[in-house]
Amino acid sequence: MRDVAVIGVGMTKWGELWEKSLRAIFVESALLALDDAGVDKIDSMYIGCMSSGLFVGQEHLASLLADFLSQAPAPSARVESACASGGLALRMGFIDVASGMSDVVLVGGVEKMTDVNGHEATYALSTAADQEYEGYHGITFPGLYALIARAHMEKYGTTREQLAMVAVKNHHNGSKNPLAQFPYEITVDSVLNSVMVADPLRILDCSPITDGAAAVVLCPVEMAKKMKKPVVKILGSGHATDTIALSSRKDITWLEATFQAAKKAYSMANKKPKDINLIEVHDCFTIAEICVTEALGVVDKGKGGEAVQQGITSLQGKIPVNTSGGLKAKGHPVGATGVAQVVEVVKQLRGEAGERQVKGARVGMTQNMGGSGGSTLVHIFERE
Amino acid sequence: MPTPSRYWREIPQRYRLEAGKCKNCGLVVFPPRIICPRCKSRDFEKVNLAESGKIITFTIIRVPPQQFVDQAPYAVGIVELDDGVKLTGQIVDCNFEEMKIGKRVKIEFRKIFDEGEAGIICYGYKFVPE
C-alpha cells in the first residue's frame, strides 16, 4: 500500500443557497480544491451524496459532476452511506490511491437540501433510519437522538445544560469560521429557551438544513513531495457498521460503529487518543458529540457531558473538538459533511485556520456517521 | 408512503407480532431475519412477541413527518418486552408528565396513520400503560 497525502482542499460558504444548483455548488468547491492542489487533471473522483434523488430529483451524479467539472472521461462514482457519505467517499479515494490504481483523485461531497420544503427534507433524512420499523411509527431524526439523550441522562446523569454547552462551544468556534452557515455565538439560555423539537432536544440542539459542498485532492505522498506541497498524510482509515434500528442495540447510549472504526484507525495510524491534537466529530445533535467523544476514547464512558462542561473539548482545551463550528454552526449538507471535516483538519494541520487555529497541531482526526450511528468513518491525519 | 404490496408484506409483523426465534441459540428477533445476528444460524421458528414490557427511553415528537402532522405532539419510545426484544413505537393513552423510564406498558393494535381519503389506512402496534 502506498502512503497517501491530501494536497488540496476546497469549500465555499454554506447556507441556504437559493440561487445555486447542486452542480454549481459542487463544481465551485471542487475547483477550489484542484487550484489549491495545483492540478487540473484527475485520474478518478468519488462523490459523497446522501439523497440527491429525494432532494433534487437527480441521480447519476457520477456523470453529471464529472461532466460539469470538465473531467469526463475520468472514472467517477457517487457513494452513499446516509450522513457518512462524505467520509465514505474519502475512504474510497484513499483506497484508490493507496492501491496504486490512481494517482490524483478528487474526493467531494455535496447536498442541496433547500429545493424541497421542510417536511420533504425531514422525510428525505428519515430514510437513513429503518423505514419499516422506525419511520413507520412516526419517529424523526431529532426523535432518535432524543431517545439517546434521554437514556444517556438517565444512565450517566448528563444534564440538559451540558447538552446546551456543546451547541454554545460549537457556535463559538463557528463564529471564527467565515464559511459557516451560522457564524455567531449563542448562550446556554438561548438553547434552553429555544423551541422544543423532540424532548429533551430543542431546535438549538439540532444541526440545520444546509446547501453546501466540499472537496479534497489526494495523491501518493511521494508525488506530493515532488510537487513541493505541504504534506498532510492520511495515517489511518477506519470504517464500521452497526444495526440500522436504534432499538436493536444492546446499549442505546453507546456508538459501537464509532468505537470499532476508531479502533481500526488508531491501530493503522499507530496512534492513541492522547496523541490526537484536534477532532472534527459528527455533532448532528448535541448529544451525538457527547456520545462520539466517549466512543472515540478521548473521554471516559459516560463523561462526555462533563468533559464539555470542564472545557476539555473547547478551542483552548486539552482536545479541541469541532474547531470549524461542527455540523451545528457550520451547517450539515449531509453528503458534504464528512469531506468538510477533512478540509478543516487539513487547514488546522497546515496552520491556516486563522482565529480558530489550534497552536502546534500536528495530528488530527475526523469522525463521520450515518443515521443514528449505523455506519461510521474515522480518519487520522498527520502533518509531515 | 407505502404501496399496497409493501404494506401487505409487513402485516404478519405489524398485526400479529410475528417474530423469529433462532432454533440454534434461542435469540428472538423482530422483525424476523434470514440469518441470526448472534450465531449465524439460518434455522428459525415463528414465535409471537411478548405483549408487555417496560419503557427504556422515550421522546415527545413536536415536529412530525408529513403523515403524522395531525397527531403531534405524540410520544415515541423504545420498549423492552418481557422476552428481551426491544422495539420502537408510539406510547399512547398516557399523559406526557406520567411517562418515565421503567414504566410498564402493553401492546395494543391501533391505527398508525392514514394516507387520506383514497389511500391505505395503516395499522400496527402501539404501547399503552398497563
Query: Are residues A175 and A59 both part of a single domain?
Result: no
Q: Which residues of A19-37 are buried (b: 16+ CB within 10 A; e: fewer)?
A: ebebbbbbbbbbbbbbebb
Q: What average pLDDT does the segment A215-223 reach?
A: 98
Is A261 inside a domain boundary?
yes
Choose the closest CB to B66 out of A119, A143, A201: A119
Query: Are residues A282 and A152 both part of a single domain?
Result: yes
- Residue window 69-128, chain A: list those with CB within 8 Å of chain B: 119-120, 122-123, 126
Q: Please pick, among A152, A171, A239, A332, the residue that the annotation labels catalytic.
A: A332
Nearest CA distance, A138 vs chain B (angstrom): 6
Query: Are residues A154 and A240 both part of a single domain?
Result: yes
Please state the domain count of chain A.
Answer: 2
Using alpha carbons only, what angle is made at residue A305 by residues A304 and A308, rounded to the nearest 5 degrees? 90
Nearest CA distance, A111 vs chain B (angstrom): 20
Question: Which SS3 state, helix, strand or coil, does residue B76 take?
Answer: strand
Q: Does A147 touch chain B (CB under 8 A)?
A: yes
Those residues of chain B whose CB sits closer than 8 Å to some CB in chain A are 10, 14, 31, 37, 56-69, 71, 74, 76-78, 86-90, 96, 101, 112-113, 122, 124
Mean pLDDT of chain B: 95
Domain that holds residue A26: 4-117+210-232
**Chain A residue with the nearest C-alpha to that of B73:** A198
Answer with the one of A180, A199, A232 that is the final residue of a domain: A232
Choose the closest CB to A122 out of B60, B65, B90: B65
CATH number of domain containing A15: 3.40.47.10
Strand pairing report for A76-79 and A44-48: parallel
Domain boundaries, chain B: 4-129
Is A124 inside a domain boundary?
no
State CA A33 to chain mean position distance: 17
- The interface pTM score, or ipTM, of the predicted complex is 0.97
B88–A248 CB contact, under 8 Å: no
Query: Are residues A200 and A63 both part of a single domain?
Result: no
Distance CA A40, CA A226 (A): 17
CB atoms within 10 A of CB B40: 10
Query: Are residues A136 and A241 both part of a single domain?
Result: yes
Cβ-based burial of A105 (10 A; exposed 0-12, middle 13-18, buried ≥19): buried
Per-residue pLDDT at B34 exceeds 80: yes
Query: Are residues A259 and A350 both part of a single domain?
Result: yes
Is A85 inside a domain boundary?
yes
Task: Show residues of chain A in contact with B67, CB under 8 Å.
Answer: 138
- What are A50's three cell numbers? 446522501
Query: Are residues A150 and A216 both part of a single domain?
Result: no
Nearest CA distance, A195 vs chain B (angstrom): 9
Nearest CA distance, B58 vs chain A (angstrom): 5
Q: What average pLDDT does the segment A285-300 reach?
A: 98
Mean pLDDT of chain A: 97
Q: Give the per-residue pLDDT at B1.
A: 58
Query: Are residues A252 and A370 both part of a single domain?
Result: yes
Per-residue pLDDT at A135 exceeds 90: yes
Query: Are residues A189 and A298 both part of a single domain?
Result: yes
Question: Which SS3 state, helix, strand or coil, does residue A28 take?
Answer: helix
pLDDT, one tens digit per residue, over B39-82 is 999 999 999 999 999 999 999 999 998 889 999 999 999 999 99
Q: How confident is the model at residue A319 (pLDDT cuts 50, 70, 90)?
A: very high
Cβ-based burial of A62 (10 A; exposed 0-12, middle 13-18, buried ≥19): middle
* C-alpha gyration radius of chain B: 16
Per-residue pLDDT at A212 exceeds 90: yes
Q: What average pLDDT does the segment A129-143 reach?
A: 96
pTM of the complete model beyond 0.90? yes
At the topology level, CATH places domain B4-129 in: OB fold (Dihydrolipoamide Acetyltransferase, E2P) (2.40.50)
Looking at chain A, the whole-number percentage of residues with pLDDT higher than 70 is 100
Is A239 inside a domain boundary?
yes
Q: What average pLDDT does the segment A150-179 reach?
A: 98
Q: Does A132 touch chain B (CB under 8 A)?
A: yes
Task: Show residues of chain A in contact with B62, CB under 8 Å.
Answer: 195-199
pLDDT, one tens digit per residue, over A332-380 is 999 999 999 999 999 999 999 999 999 999 999 999 999 999 999 999 9
Question: Which SS3 state, helix, strand or coil, does residue A346 take?
Answer: helix
Query: Are residues A298 and A171 both part of a single domain?
Result: yes
Per-residue pLDDT at A277 exceeds 80: yes
Distance CA A331, CA A259 (A): 25
Which residues 6+ apart lie within 8 Å of A61 measured at CB? A22, A47, A49, A52, A78, A110
Query: Are residues A225 and A196 both part of a single domain?
Result: no
Q: What average pLDDT does the segment A150-166 reach?
A: 98
**Total residue length of chain B:** 130
Q: What average pLDDT does the segment B117-129 reach?
A: 92
Question: A105-119, A120-134, A339-353, B111-125 — which is least confidently predicted?
Answer: B111-125
Q: Is the peptide bond before A200 cis (omega within 30 degrees of 0)?
A: yes
What's the N-to-C CA distance of chain A in angstroms? 18
DSSP secondary structure code for residue B68 in this structure:
G
Query: Are residues A251 and A308 both part of a single domain?
Result: yes
Choose the closest CB to A150 out of B59, B65, B90: B59
Q: Is A119 noted as a catalytic residue in this protein?
A: no
